Amino acid sequence: MTISLHPSTLPAVLSPVMTPFKADGYPDEQKLLKQCKWLEANGVGQAIFGTNSEANSMSATQKMNTLTALIEGGLNPQHMMPGTGSTSIESTYRMTAHALSYQCAGVLMLPPFYYKDITDDGLFAYFSEVIQKIGNPALQIYIYNIPPVTKINLSLSLLERLIKEYPKTVVGMKDSSGDWEYTESVIKLLAPHGFRVYAGSEVFLMRTLRAGGVGCISATANVNPKAIAELAAHWRESDADKRQADLDQVRGIFAKYQMIAGMKTAVAHYSKDPEWLRVRPPLMQLSASQQAQLLSELKAINFSMPGL
C-alpha cells in the first residue's frame, strides 16, 4: 500500500491562519495576506480556513474569493493546505476544486460534522463521492480529525479503507483529538506506507516527530511561528526538549482563554491594529480585563512577535 509517489512540498509546521474581518463581517483579504506572508517568512505554511480561521463562520464563496486573493497576492500555493471540508458535499467539492485549480499542495478536509452517530460506511461514502466528483489525480487530501468539535471519531479501519481505495489521494491527516495514544497508533500503522500525520498542537510536536509523523498544524503557530518551526527543524538536537518546554509555556498561557479571541488579542496588540480583535458570532472578544491579563502573562515571559 503506497500512499504518494511524490514528496510533499508542505512545511513541517502549518498555521490554521486566523482570519481578520472587516466591520461588515467579510474577510479582510489584504490584512490576511500580510499575516500569511509574515508566517511564511517565519517558516510556517498556511492551513487557511481551519478551525482557528473561523472557517465555518464563512461561506464557501467567501473562502474561495479569499483564496484567490491570497494566491494572486503572491502566496506560494505549494505551502498551502486550505480547509475545504463542509457538511455539504457540493460545497466541499466546489472549495476543493477551487484549491486544486490554484495548485495548492493539499486540502484539509473535515468529515461532515452535523449528523451524529454516523457509520464508517457513511463517512467513506462522503469522502469517496467528493474524490470521484473531483476526478483529478493531483488531488491530495489530508483528513481533519477533531472529535472534540465534530463529535465524530475517525477509526483506524476507516482510514485504512480510504487509503486502500485512494492511495494517491488520501495522503495524510491532521489529528486534533488531543489523544496521543490515538495519534501514535495512526503513525505506527500508516506512516510506514507514506501517510503523513500532523499533530493538531505543537504540544505533541516532539512526540509526533520521534514517532514518525511529519509535524504539526497548530493554532499557536499563528502567534509563535518561528519557535515552533525551529523545533521542527532541529528536533534531533540536544536542546530540543528545552525548546519543546518553551513552546508548551506559551501554549499554556493562550490555553487559559478562548483560543481564537486570545490569539487575536495578541496580534492586535503586537501589530498595533485593534481591528484584529474582531471575531464572528457566536464567538466573542475577550473582555478588557481578560485582554489585560493575557498580555500581562505574555509580557512576564518576554513574549514578542517581531516583524508583525
Q: What is the share, in percent, of the chain residues with pLDDT greater than 90? A: 98
The pLDDT tens digits for 103-145 are 999 999 999 999 999 999 999 999 999 999 999 999 999 999 9
The active-site residue, picked from 144, 198, 257, 270, is 144
Please report the domains of the chain, with CATH numbers, ordered by start residue.
Answer: 13-227 (3.20.20.70)
Query: What average pLDDT does the segment 199-213 reach?
Result: 98
Question: What is the average per-residue pLDDT within 28-52?
Answer: 98
**Quick check: 3 pLDDT over 60?**
no
According to DSSP, the β-strands at 141-145 and 170-175 are parallel
260 is in an annotated binding site: no
pLDDT at 2 over 70: no
Distances (CA, A) of 57 to 19, 114, 243, 279, 282: 10, 14, 34, 10, 9
Residue 5 has pLDDT above 90, yes or no: no
Q: Is the pLDDT of residue 242 over 90?
A: yes
> Among the options 174, 198, 264, 270, which is catalytic?
174
The candidate with the shortest Cα–Cα distance to 136, out of 194, 96, 186, 89, is 96
pTM of the full structure: 0.96
Task: Give, as one character, the DSSP assignment of residue 60.
Answer: H
Check residue 84 and give its pLDDT.
98
144 is catalytic: yes
pLDDT at 7: 82
Among residues 199, 165, 206, which one has the least CA distance to residue 182? 199
**Active site includes 174?**
yes
Mean pLDDT of the chain: 97
Phi-psi label, residue 167: left if phi above 0, alpha if psi -120 to 50, beta otherwise: alpha
Task: Give the H or E element holding residue 232.
Answer: helix 225-233
Q: How much is the pLDDT for 257?
A: 98
C-alpha count within 13 angstroms, C-beta hemisphere, residue 172: 26
